[in-house]
Amino acid sequence: MVRILIIYHSQSGHTRAMAEAVAAGAGAVEGAAVDLKQVGDAGLEDLLTCDGLAVGSPEYFGYMAGQVKDFFDRTYEPARGRKEIFKKPYVVFVSAGNDGRGTVQGIERIALGYPLKKVYEPVVARGEIDEDILSRCRELGQTLAAGCEAGIY
For the chain, list the domains and their CATH numbers.
2-150 (3.40.50.360)
Alpha helices by DSSP H, the chain: 14-27, 44-49, 66-79, 101-113, 131-150
CA 137, 98, 11, 57 torsion-angle sign: positive
Please say if the pLDDT value at position 77 is more than 90: yes
Grouping H, G, I as helix, E, B as strand and the rest as coil, residue 27 is: helix
Please say if the pLDDT value at position 105 is more than 90: yes
Q: CA 31 to CA 146: how far, in whole Å?
A: 9
Please say if the pLDDT value at position 97 is more than 90: no
Please say if the pLDDT value at position 91 is more than 90: yes
